[in-house]
Chains A and B, each alone.
Chain A
């Protein structure tokens, strides 16, 4: 872990493509996510306090807890970073970010290759695997019973729920279409171990993940398919509704749709952005309970 949580939260951008794309999803979870940046600012908002001495103690305790690698927060951050920084991004990501708030990706087309559907479904599966692992590293397994744990998940809110909406939209609906959930389930049933091994995120993060790749994916996705498709329906997310919004800041034409998933893949880091915010929130909620 090269950076502490305060530096990570301090360096979150307040604008840019990732922020605009997440704001676009507000309709799916109205008012749940604000782009809170800056660690001290986050402490004030989460605790509702303004006394500098108290805020300083919360900050110190949060940094202590984050610095203890056995507490899981560092691993959660690593997973969120790895899942947004797979091999496909290297090279193009920096160039895309320099373009700022809006851009046309037509100039990139010669350097982008849309992924085959199978690789795209593995990417989606890995986002879901990453989210479940990072949730457990951040929050443990809250409660004593299955119903307690179900309640914790059902209460996904703020950064967590907007990230889930991002997975469904940017890694499901856009690259795979409205039938993304059934494609995911069908595809996963026919995957081989090598399909998983070839995934950039898996290669980088497998030391952080629980179990071998293929069984991890098949077990996770076999269980979550209904939830994923239900999430889109229950939150009113459709491909068309999102594409309209994206067109307001990314210039693309319908005949280049195949490229849109690829360009979003390299230009957004919504998992890392909101994941950092989620870990910071959990840390601060704990720190103020422990000081």
Chain B
């Protein structure tokens, strides 16, 4: 535990120093818009990533570790937060929350969906992912990393998110 604490100090020290020293005048490159991602007609316009809801706010919607399952946060950026779920030390799933205002086309898949999870529109993301759209803005997704983590498991873990609290989050 001592080693872990020492390591935390290292990384925290580095991180906060980095934050405080971050050049203020760094030019922000515009997000590249490939032809395939151009919004059609009157589709909502993407906001710059940096203006999306902070990852630390999104973290609050995640469920806690439970039973044999252990949740570990893995990435936190503007408009995005992710965690991995392990069971007996093996990674079984990735859980994410994203602010679709930064990528509005993510909402399209929910428009034709009749499925609901905890009352929110649900859709598949490929063969390994299940997602819900909360307040027409926040996409909460569970992705299987192991065949033992089934679609029913994904739905069950999506239900454990604090979806109603997330629906009220505004900048």
Contact = CB atoms under 8 A, between A and B. Distances in A.
- Main secondary structure, interface of A, reads helix
Interface residues of A, number: 63
A290 B106 contact: yes
Interface in A66-101: 67-72
Interface string A131-164: 0110111111111101011111111010000000
B148 interface: no
A142 B49 contact: no
Contact of A289 (B16, B21, B49, B94): B94
Given A64-B31, A151-B72, A286 B21 contact: no
A24 interface: no
A193 interface: no
B126 A141 contact: no
B143 to A, nearest CB: 7
A220 B14 contact: yes
Contacts of B19: 210
Nearest to B128: A48
Contacts of A289: 80, 82, 94, 96-98, 139, 141, 143
A285 interface: yes
A54 B94 contact: no
Contacts, number: 204
A64 B34 CA distance: 8
A211 B21 contact: yes
B126 A223 contact: no
A129 B14 contact: yes
Contacts of B8: 146, 149-150, 153
Contacts of A149: 8, 11-12, 73
Contacts of B23: 207
In which size bucket is the chain B interface? 35 or more
A47 interface: yes
Contacts of A139: 74-76
Interface string B64-99: 000000001111111111111010000100101110
A224 B7 CA distance: 6
A56 B82 CA distance: 21
A157 B72 CA distance: 13
A291 B34 CA distance: 14
B4 A61 contact: no
Contacts of A223: 6-7, 9-10, 13
A51 B36 contact: no
Interface stretch (B54-62, B114-122, B154-162): B54-62
25 contacts: A57-B37, A70-B49, A132-B11, A137-B18, A139-B75, A141-B12, A141-B15, A142-B76, A142-B82, A146-B12, A151-B73, A153-B4, A154-B4, A155-B84, A210-B18, A211-B17, A223-B7, A286-B80, A286-B96, A288-B125, A289-B141, A289-B143, A290-B100, A290-B102, A290-B103
Q: Which A-B residue pairs are the 10 nearest by beta carbons?
A: A210-B18, A289-B96, A143-B73, A142-B73, A210-B17, A140-B76, A223-B10, A49-B126, A67-B32, A211-B17
Given A129-B14, A143-B72, 13 more contacts: A64-B31, A68-B49, A69-B27, A128-B10, A139-B76, A141-B76, A150-B7, A219-B17, A220-B14, A227-B7, A288-B126, A290-B79, A291-B125
Interface of B: 2-23, 26-34, 36-37, 48-50, 55-56, 59-60, 72-84, 86, 91, 94, 96-98, 100, 102-103, 105-106, 125-129, 139, 141, 143-145
Interface of A: 47-51, 54, 56-57, 60-61, 63-65, 67-72, 128-129, 132-133, 135-144, 146, 148-155, 157, 207, 209-211, 216, 219-220, 223-227, 230, 282, 285-286, 288-291
